[in-house]
Amino acid sequence: MLASLLTLLLPLFLRRVLQDPTHIGNFVALFLASAVATLAGRAKDQICRVLSVRASSVLSLAIFQKSVRFSNLAHLRSPVGKVLGSSTTDMMLVRNYVLKVHDIWSSPVQLLLIAFMIVRLLGLSGVVGYVAMSILLFSQTRANAAVGVAVEDYLRIDEVRINHLNSAFQKIRGIKSLGLEPMFLKEIRSAREIQLEALWRRLRVVFCFFISINQMIPAVTAMVSLTSYWYTGHELVPEVVFPALTLFEMTFSPASKFSLSVTRQFSILPCVRRILHILQQTEHQPASQKPGEVPQSSDASAGNLINFHDAKVSYPNADDSSTSFVLGPITMGIPANKLTIIHGASGSGKSTVLAAIGGQAEVIEGQLLRNSATMALCTQDPWIMLGTVRDNITFLRSYEPVRYRQVVRLCCLESDIASFPGGDLAIVGESGANLSGGQKARISLARAIYSEADLLLLDDCLAAVDPRVARKLFHECILKLPQTVILVTHQTEFIRYCDHVVSLANGMVAEVGSPEELRKNPHGVIGSILLGETGTYSKDHLDGVMSMESTSNEDSADSKQITLVEEERARGKVDTDLYRFYFECAGGPRFIMLLSLMLFLTVAVRIVNSFWLPWWMGNVLSVSTPTYLTGYALVVMLQATFIASVGVILVLGTMKASRSIHEGVVTRLFRAPLDFFSGQPLGRVLNRLSVDIDGIDFRLINAGDLLLMAATSLFAAVIVLVWSSPYLLLAFGPIFYFQYRIQSLYRVSARELRRVCSILDSPVLSVITESMASMPTIQTYDARELFEERHRVALSRAIVGITVRYALETWITLRIEMLSVGLLGCAGLLGVFGVLDSLQMGLIFTLSISLSKHMHQFLWSLINVEVEMNSTERLRHYMTRIPVEDDHRSPDSEPEGEIIFTNVTVQYPRSQSPSLRDFSMCIRSGEKVGIIGHSGSGKSTILAALSALAPVVHGRINIRGTPINDLPLTTLRSMVHVLPQDSVLFPGSVRQNLDPQLSHSDDTLLHALSVADPTHRCTNSSNLLDLVIAPGGTNLSAGQAQLICLARALLANPRILVLDEATSSVDLQMENHIQQVLQKHFRDSIILCVAHRPTSVAWMDRVIVMADGMCVREEDRSGIQTDV
């Protein structure tokens, strides 16, 4: 307030100095008022900047701390897109709001003080002018409401867009394997178009209406006041008109600030609502024992660690109209310090039991009581965090070498760690991108064991490893653990060794007890297994083949060395090619020509506006006063029209550039090879597609508009100055030089700081995306504090960058303004000593205050544009520089028939050894080929090479004589349909997952589902097609997810079907059913089946055995049937 008050008093002090230049008291008052106003103003700015950073950082911490405590329902209602949006876009809006929060009250106070001085000068005519100003300001009310709605729509659809992008990049391997890039691109483009429509509604109001109205306020207020003054019989004389014009010009800044502050009130409301929506979500509540909840104890429940009492368990749904699987009611206990195996058919509720214990599923009826203090979890899809192998195993615990080595040995990881460059300090990619499925499962198991938790929840962790390793892990590791262990498994050979068995069927407990007790019932499922050893693989011939071909290094072949690529950062001045690139995206020469024309007209009208009143005072045009008033009104209207036209052109150019750049970046990312994603944290990619997209949507057009307005104002002022007194250019030159030199220092620092801040944002977003993707693990391990600390460290570094950038802005503004104060002081001293007269001092004061202000705004805006081009610079890198998969020429027709691998060698970038070595194989049309071998033997690499997902460095792959290098990727991947171990499902309805192109009727979809699951034991929802699949498919079992993927394959009817451990997580009955479906409905298709379990390939025409990336043995159908 002090700065505003002193600024308003400066004209009064200036008048006194000009009346008596030699009076030193007047000079001191003017100098001190200028200096104190500058210091107070910049102190206020710095305080607000610090407060804005603190406010945004506190809110960011609160949002993240809430997100890692989300309940499962809260996770569905506030997915990663909402949390990321609140942590990026909302925080920027919060900082901007706090920076200018005082304008909402200080601007009206300044306007009232100016009004007081105007009324003293013009009387009631000044009041009339202020009434006109009020009408202009209040005309923006409805427009402000429209801006608020547009901002809310923009933020809402931005969540959808980010969710689509996150889902796509989380499952990018599956998307590429299935050729689903066009589907996701369509969804993302659709969301972006809706977002751009909201952006258009916001920008057109701000830049075509608000800015033109605000620019009109001083001129309209002056015109109305002076017209009223003249009509009331007063004479318009220079000693009245020019002081009045000075005061009217002073209204521009507070009026604009007040207008923008009101707009910010409407813009911040959607952010506040979104932040509150997150902070008000329910938190995760694990099953626990509370006083008064425990029923009367019985002998059956004594000694149990966990007790279910008539419990019904279900996964929550964000949409109440959709249904989900309900487990129960069940009543059972899990004994303490014992090994419990949960067995049952796929979809019977085994994983739901573990989810209920861990708190991911909700107990909707009855009770679930848990007496353990700590838990550890191994999920079916093992979660691996970005970091070293050691970090993944130790996780929350300190590193203890002896115990660590023991755990590594028990989990069969010694040879794997020895094969990694750097050993256990080797970097593991996000989600284990450079690990095989077996390695991920064993690292996850090692983490659970190293945690020394009271309760271990192992959800089918043995399915991802081959039978030999599975037996070793079970007998030497799991069986010997002293804690309470709950193991979900389909491998029935282990049941007889456990202490306790729970058999589930159709969501109910079918049998429960010890193996000895259940053996007595030969008609029960467990009894028949124990008596007949159903499902035991220990005598399989192919299992023996795998054992003979084992190597000391199980996983070396498929593991890929990951080097986290350092995020690129441009250095030095912004290349002119970048501006050319942006202008091309914005419309090219046509955009530049239209913008230049409107700027020329704007400058011309500004010049006429500056001369019009002096012409009027001197009656230069020899016309009547009403004519001058009419002409002045016309000039004001033309100026507003041209400014609005400039805004329209800028908005249209911004829309076109934003659309073009977003489309180019997203398309390029979907064409990037898998290796690009394995070396990039997902948060880094999403940083470009969120923060930087916001930059080209909002910040760049703001900077560009300010630059154009400052440039036209400065150019018009210089023209007027030269016209009035050319000699003043001699003073103008040194001022411009000194300002330019000072701002050159700022320019380099500001540009590099913005680049650094953009890079510092990436780790913050990476922690958010990683934590949201690993919610079950975080909640079960109670690892919130670990992730909160990681987020706090990353956010602290980002805050340092923002704080320094804000301090730099205060530094440059203070020095530029003090330069003007110094010039004013020098002129005042010369006047005190009689060197300058009043006229010369007046000109110098005008130059130092007005022109210096225009120069500062111009240079500041010029630098700000360069700084904000950082977002365009970063997006252009993704749009033009990241690698892309080679897309090949289109053949005349899709090839059919045999597949031939000829001396194929595959070696991943940065890998020390090939994953596939000199591999040759011929697969005849319609042939069914099984591929077995230990984890990492090269099995999956064969399939990846066939889909062009792995780099073939030597040899070739032909499909009926056509090299796959000559096939378009979309054609190749539409021919090769993949059923992976980790089911590729996306958030959305079952209908969308079955038929991404929406090309089949509901009857066709339901028929495919009935073929995939004729008994409806897994797909038993009444409105199945509309069932919403949660992110990560958490509301489906592995069997349910795999059956949906099988139905999708039936609808695709591919020529080549690839099964990559597709049945490893399902029970034998479902595996047999899947095999029957494959044999009946894919009779004419080539089938390649990678498996650990020999029974999975026993029905194949041929089986090859892989070891160390090479084929070491081959069996035909007769050999298989003889020996299995």
Which amino acid belongs to residue 997?
Q
Q: Kindly state whether residue 882 falls inside one of the protein's structural domains.
A: no
Residue ending a domain, among 494, 521, 548, is 521
Number of domains in the chain: 2
Task: Give the number of other Cβ atoms within 10 Å of residue 184's Cβ.
Answer: 21
Closest CA to 1030 of 346, 316, 348: 316
> Which pLDDT belongs to residue 86?
93
Taking the C-alpha atoms of residue 713 and residue 703, their distance in angstroms, rounded to an integer, is 15
Q: Kindly state whether residue 495 falls inside one of the protein's structural domains.
A: yes
Give the gyration radius of the chain's Cα atoms: 36
Taking the C-alpha atoms of residue 813 and residue 808, their distance in angstroms, rounded to an integer, is 9
Q: Determine the Cα angle at 39 with ends 35 and 45, to 5°.
A: 145
| H/E segment holding residue 1089 | strand 1086-1091
Taking the C-alpha atoms of residue 90 and residue 108, their distance in angstroms, rounded to an integer, is 27
Is the CA virtual torsion 863, 868, 869, 873 positive or negative? positive
**In the chain, which residues have pLDDT < 70?**
1, 11, 14-15, 18-19, 286-302, 318-324, 533-564, 721, 724-732, 827, 835-852, 887-897, 910, 935, 1015-1022, 1117-1124
Which CA distances in Å does 572 have to 17, 747, 762, 866? 47, 11, 21, 11
> Which pLDDT belongs to residue 783?
87
Closest CA to 189 of 658, 663, 696: 663
> Which pLDDT belongs to residue 151?
93
For 728, half-sphere exposure in the C-beta direction (CA atoms, 13 angstrom radius) is 21
What lies within 8 Å, CB to CB, of 603 at 6+ separation is 712, 715, 716, 719
What lies within 8 Å, CB to CB, of 697 at 6+ separation is 199, 654, 658
User: Is the separation of the CB atoms in 639 and 223 below 8 Å?
Assistant: no
Residue ending a domain, among 505, 521, 537, is 521
pLDDT single digits (tens) 725-753: 666 566 667 777 777 788 888 888 999 99
pTM for this model (two decimals): 0.87
Residue 429's φ and ψ, nearest 5 degrees, are: -65, 160
- Beta bridge partners, 928, equal 1087
pLDDT single digits (tens) 509-535: 999 999 999 888 888 888 888 877 544
Tokens of 787: 């992730």
Residue ending a domain, among 521, 551, 582, is 521
Strand pairing class (508-513; 500-505): antiparallel
Which CA distances in Å does 771 have to 75, 303, 786, 835? 11, 35, 10, 71
Q: Kindly state whether residue 983 falls inside one of the protein's structural domains.
A: yes
Q: Kindly state whether residue 977 falls inside one of the protein's structural domains.
A: yes
Strand pairing class (362-370; 427-428): unpaired
User: Is the separation of the CB atoms in 420 and 388 below 8 Å?
Assistant: no
Residue 510 burial class via C-beta count within 10 angstroms: exposed 0-12, middle 13-18, buried 19 and up: middle
Which amino acid belongs to residue 969?
L
> Which pLDDT belongs to residue 545?
44
Q: Determine the Cα angle at 636 with ends 635 and 642, to 5°.
A: 85
Q: Which runs of E-coded beta strand occur in 291-384?
A: 304-314, 326-335, 339-344, 362-370, 375-378
> Which pLDDT belongs to residue 755?
93
For 529-563, b where at least 16 C-beta lie within 10 A, e where not — what string? bbeeeebebeebebbebbeebebebbbbbbbbbbe
Domain coverage including residue 379:
334-359+371-521
The answer, yes or no, to whether the previous bond of 329 is cis (omega within 30 of 0) is yes
**Residue 931: which CATH number?**
3.40.50.300
> Which pLDDT belongs to residue 334?
92
User: Is the separation of the CB atoms in 295 and 369 below 8 Å?
Assistant: no
Q: Kindly state whether residue 928 falls inside one of the protein's structural domains.
A: yes
User: Is the separation of the CB atoms in 872 and 696 below 8 Å?
Assistant: yes
Tokens of 273: 């609502």
> Which pLDDT belongs to residue 836?
62
> Which pLDDT belongs to residue 277?
94
- Beta bridge partners, 365, equal 312
User: Is the separation of the CB atoms in 645 and 598 below 8 Å?
Assistant: yes
Strand pairing class (1086-1091; 1102-1107): unpaired
- Quote the crossing angle between the two packed helices 124-138 and 211-231, to the nearest 10°: 160
Task: Give the number of other Cβ atoms within 10 Å of residue 237's Cβ.
Answer: 9
Which amino acid belongs to residue 889?
R
Q: Determine the Cα angle at 1008 with ends 1004 and 1012, to 5°.
A: 170
Residue 189 burial class via C-beta count within 10 angstroms: exposed 0-12, middle 13-18, buried 19 and up: middle
Q: Kindly state whether residue 550 falls inside one of the protein's structural domains.
A: no
Closest CA to 749 of 877, 568, 571, 569: 571
| DSSP-assigned states of every residue in 829-870 | HHHHTTSS-HHHHHHHHHIIIIIHHHHHHHHHHHHHHHHHHH
Tokens of 844: 């110098």
- Beta bridge partners, 504, equal 344, 509
Q: Kindly state whether residue 83 falls inside one of the protein's structural domains.
A: no
Q: Kindly state whether residue 247 falls inside one of the protein's structural domains.
A: no
